[in-house]
Chains A and B, each alone.
Chain A
Amino acid sequence: MKLALVRDAEPPLVDRPRLKSIKDLGLPGDADGFVKGLLDIFFERAPALMNDLAQALDGRDSHKVEKLAHALKGTAGNLGASRMMHLAERLESLGRSRSLEGEAVQILEALKASYPDTRHELLREYKS
């Protein structure tokens, strides 16, 4: 089920051109740490949002799920973390339609599972 959820959308972990457009905002070699600062915000925010999402799902709070997933979608999307962005978008949509009974839990699991690889890939791209 988990694999199917990822395979359905199959976006890359990281959208390189998008991440590059953000990297280009920084100084050469990220001398002022601008891009690293953004990555750190993501590394702090994404796990926190996923924890809050788990609680909101447990509580069947669809409005909260929608809001938190929307926030996660935004923060992932800004750095080009495509797979997490798309999964968060699907969760947001389920929250909006108050359909938390079905695949919502699996999507959150897929999000959690894709986070370490996303983090690794973002750092690798950052250093490249």
Chain B
Amino acid sequence: MKGNLNDTYTITLDDDVMVHQIIERSTKMKTIGLKDPEELLSRLDDLHPVAVFIDIHLGTGRTGLEILPHLRTAWPFCPILVITGTPAEHSIVKALNSGADDFIRKPLIPDEVDARFKLRMADAAQKAAKEVVEFGDIVIDSAHRTVEGPLGKRFASPIEINLLACLANTEGSIVEKDALKMRCWGQIKVTDNALHRKLHAVRQLLKDISPNVHIETKYGVGFYLKFHGHQQAHLSVAS
């Protein structure tokens, strides 16, 4: 189905159109069916799905598994369910480590597809309810991608918001470097430079909105958010 981009829809990436149709009927929600991972990558900016179903073994160039981190970056809060027809558990583990939320097995069982879809949608709704996070005198609104403090309000990129929300959610605990990469990009292969560039951008952003909240570095361990004047007697490490 082509789908009207103004409606609510899922995306199904699978080279078998039968799978698109079975998922659409099982979830009772329109799906935009695509066969080629590259096509999905080229349309990331135009598409705003409520959930994504993706065959991880698909593709002659990049596989579904390889594009997962890109999907997670583009749609940080969108449930991603991988479809696998291979018994190898390691591919499922890889997919979950690359940003997927859940998996469904082929042959597809309609009731299972629907149950997993509903479960992940409920999770997403729960996350959305927590999308406004307060820390010290700043408020991070992930849904609207804004950060507001006594000095003003700023918009931020999805990764910047993710990074800040992740640090704020741990309420001052240290977040390890790899854990931060995993939460923000969906993978730990991201270079340290990329992480530091994002941290730099977020530090600049914080300066514009509050003089009291800073990202601190615990060398060799990770990063944490600090509210000026707030005593942190003990720093635990969040992973």
Contacts and interface: CB of A to CB of B under 8 A. Distances in A.
A62 interface: no
A78 B26 CA distance: 13
B85 A70 contact: yes
Interface stretch (A17-25, A50-58, A117-125): A17-25
Interface residues of B, number: 18
A113 interface: no
Contacts of B111: 21
B235 interface: no
A100 interface: no
B34 interface: no
For the residues of A in contact with B, the DSSP-based class is helix
Contacts of A85: 107
A74 B25 contact: no
Interface string A7-27: 000000000001001101110
A26 B18 CA distance: 13
Contacts of A21: 109-111
Interface residues of A, number: 22
A22 B19 CA distance: 11
B25 A25 contact: yes
Contacts of A41: 16-18
B21 interface: yes
B228 interface: no
Interface of B: 15-19, 21-22, 25-26, 57, 85-86, 106-111
Which A-B residue pairs are the 7 nearest by beta carbons?
Answer: A77-B107, A25-B25, A74-B106, A74-B85, A41-B18, A78-B107, A21-B110
Given A71-B15, A77-B107, 4 more contacts: A18-B107, A22-B110, A38-B18, A79-B18
